């Protein structure tokens, strides 16, 4: 609802990802926002002002020295008559101009003249993104209070190119915009939470690994829900296909041991929500080469050793967060097993759920959970994982307030 009735000034830069800004306009308008577009000269090389104007149902602004628009100093009006400015795609060039205060076209002049919040969705070739000059500009812009969403890691539009630099998908940009415009109470401002999410991958050799069916949807949703309440969140995630949540510092790891190290490195924190489905065991193998199938030989025996118990370590840590929340994914005696975990792991609250065959919880969109505390059990109805996350974030905020 945060976008309903809001005025978004959308600046489209000259990158290949400009085509995604057409969908972004639709998504913003679907949520009740009015979109006023500015296109750079570069953007007009990739998509047409006609398409942008038709989707936005508004005039498209392209010129700084426009006699018609500047009769009432139009660039200053554009900079002020909006609730939020989104730059998507934000090119390396536009970011460099912003970082050094240049104002030599309509987009850069408006960006220098505005007092509104500015959200950048960068998009560029990975070499451009990782260039020292771009890193310097990004650091400067963050310091100047500019907000970022993405870029993501993945394949580029140019064939054969991959890495970090893909523009975030329109829905992720919308979520970041909603977070910036959200005027709901922020009870977790000043608090730091560490959230783990996803599975871990335990290597057998360089090509094979042990994993589980966790998708990371629940953990990522909780990280985003805590951030929406004003919390500073460090999300430590195993390998997932989800985008990094908006407004959350995300660390990517593979194994349980890497996750343990990343969680400890993120301490101190007020809140720990350990959602990841961490592999209990890893193999003793640490083969540097692929294990070969041998003719007439027995298959190799997978000898397992125990992984660090992240929840238990944090629950008994010298820097134990004030509130430690664990997840218990069980297939039998869900509540009983969850309750045993509460004491054993040193947690304040366990979210227990049935992940047995046929529940569709692991990897699915919905979850039905029991909230176990020393005081008792609260069973929530079957809910979308985003709704579970929102309720849990609220519960965490209430517990910290008492």
Ligand X SMILES: Cc1cc2nc3c(=O)[nH]c(=O)nc-3n(C[C@H](O)[C@H](O)[C@H](O)COP(=O)(O)O)c2cc1C
Give the footprint of ligand X on this chain (CB under 6 A). 13-17, 40, 42-43, 91-94, 123-124, 128
For the bound state, the minimum distance from the C-beta of residue 281 to ligand X, rounded and expressed in Å, comes to 44
308 is in an annotated binding site: yes
310 is in an annotated binding site: yes
Q: How far apart are CA 139 and CA 22, in angstroms?
A: 28
Which residues are known catalytic residues?
212
Q: CB neighbours of 145 closer than 8 A, spacing ≥ 6?
A: none
Count CB atoms within 10 A of the CB of residue 5: 11
Q: Which lies closer to ligand X via its Cβ, residue 156 or residue 329?
A: 156
Contacts by 2-5, CB closer than 8 A, 24 or more apart: 2/177, 2/178, 2/179, 2/181, 2/182, 2/183, 2/184, 3/28, 3/31, 3/32, 3/33, 3/174, 3/177, 3/178, 3/181, 4/31, 4/32, 4/33, 5/32, 5/33
309 is in an annotated binding site: yes
Nearest to 304 by CA among 276, 288, 277, 285: 285
Q: Which lies closer to ligand X via its Cβ, residue 89 or residue 315?
A: 89
Written as six digits, the tokens of 152 are 């993501």
For residue 136, CA distances in Å to 125, 133, 139 come to 17, 5, 5
Q: Which lies closer to ligand X via its Cβ, residue 123 or residue 240?
A: 123
Q: How far is CA 278 from the centre of its chain?
A: 20
For the bound state, the minimum distance from the C-beta of residue 31 to ligand X, rounded and expressed in Å, comes to 26
For the bound state, the minimum distance from the C-beta of residue 137 to ligand X, rounded and expressed in Å, comes to 11
For the bound state, the minimum distance from the C-beta of residue 222 to ligand X, rounded and expressed in Å, comes to 33
334 close to 354: Cβ distance less than 8 angstroms:
yes
Give 183: exposed, middle or buried? Use CB within 10 Å, 0-12, 13-18, 19+.
Answer: exposed
201 close to 238: Cβ distance less than 8 angstroms:
yes
290 is in an annotated binding site: yes
Q: CB neighbours of 70 closer than 8 A, spacing ≥ 6?
A: none
Q: Which lies closer to ligand X via its Cβ, residue 43 or residue 174?
A: 43
Written as six digits, the tokens of 176 are 């970041």
Strand partners, 87: 11, 120
Q: Which lies closer to ligand X via its Cβ, residue 123 or residue 246?
A: 123
Q: Which lies closer to ligand X via its Cβ, residue 167 or residue 204?
A: 167
394 is in an annotated binding site: no
148 is in an annotated binding site: no
311 is in an annotated binding site: yes
For the bound state, the minimum distance from the C-beta of residue 98 to ligand X, rounded and expressed in Å, comes to 10
φ, ψ of residue 291 to 5 degrees: the values are -70, 125
For the bound state, the minimum distance from the C-beta of residue 2 to ligand X, rounded and expressed in Å, comes to 28
Positions at the binding site for CTP: 280, 290, 308-311, 327, 341, 345
């Amino acid at each position: 609802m945060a976008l309903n009735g809001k005025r978004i000034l959308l600046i489209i830069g000259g990158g290949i990802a400009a085509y995604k800004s057409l969908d972004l306009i639709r998504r913003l308008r679907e949520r009740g926002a009015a979109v006023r577009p500015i296109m750079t000269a570069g953007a007009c090389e990739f998509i047409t002002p006609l398409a942008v104007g038709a989707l936005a149902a508004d005039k498209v602004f392209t010129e700084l020295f426009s006699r018609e628009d500047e009769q009432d100093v139009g660039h200053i009006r554009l900079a002020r008559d909006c609730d939020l400015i989104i730059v998507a795609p934000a090119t390396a060039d536009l970011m460099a101009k912003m970082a050094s205060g240049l104002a030599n076209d309509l987009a850069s002049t408006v960006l220098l003249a505005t007092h509104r919040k500015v959200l950048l969705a960068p998009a560029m070739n990975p070499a451009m993104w990782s260039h020292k000059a771009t890193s310097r500009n990004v650091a400067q812009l963050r310091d100047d209070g500019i907000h970022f969403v993405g870029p993501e890691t993945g394949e580029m539009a140019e064939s054969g190119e991959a890495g970090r630099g893909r523009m975030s998908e329109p829905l992720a940009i919308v979520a970041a915009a909603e977070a910036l415009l959200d005027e709901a109470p922020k009870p977790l401002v000043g608090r730091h939470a560490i959230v783990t999410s996803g599975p871990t991958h335990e290597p057998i050799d360089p090509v094979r690994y042990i994993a589980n069916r966790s998708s990371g949807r629940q953990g990522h949703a909780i990280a985003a829900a805590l951030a929406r309440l004003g919390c500073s969140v460090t999300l430590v995630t195993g390998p997932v296909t989800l985008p990094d949540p908006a407004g959350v510092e995300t660390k990517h790891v593979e194994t349980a041991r890497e996750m343990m190290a990343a969680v400890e490195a993120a301490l101190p924190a007020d809140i720990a929500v350990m959602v990841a489905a961490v592999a209990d065991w890893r193999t003793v193998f640490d083969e540097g080469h692929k294990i070969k199938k041998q003719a007439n030989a027995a298959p190799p025996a997978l000898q397992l050793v125990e992984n660090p118990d992240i929840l238990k370590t944090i629950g008994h840590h010298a820097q134990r967060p004030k509130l430690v929340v664990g997840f218990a994914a069980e297939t039998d005696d869900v509540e009983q097993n969850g309750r045993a975990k509460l004491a054993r792991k040193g947690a304040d609250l366990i979210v227990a759920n049935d992940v047995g065959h046929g529940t569709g919880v692991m990897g699915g969109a919905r979850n039905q959970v029991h909230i176990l505390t020393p005081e008792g059990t609260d069973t929530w109805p079957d809910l979308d994982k985003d709704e579970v996350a929102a309720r849990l974030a609220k519960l965490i905020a209430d517990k910290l307030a008492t």
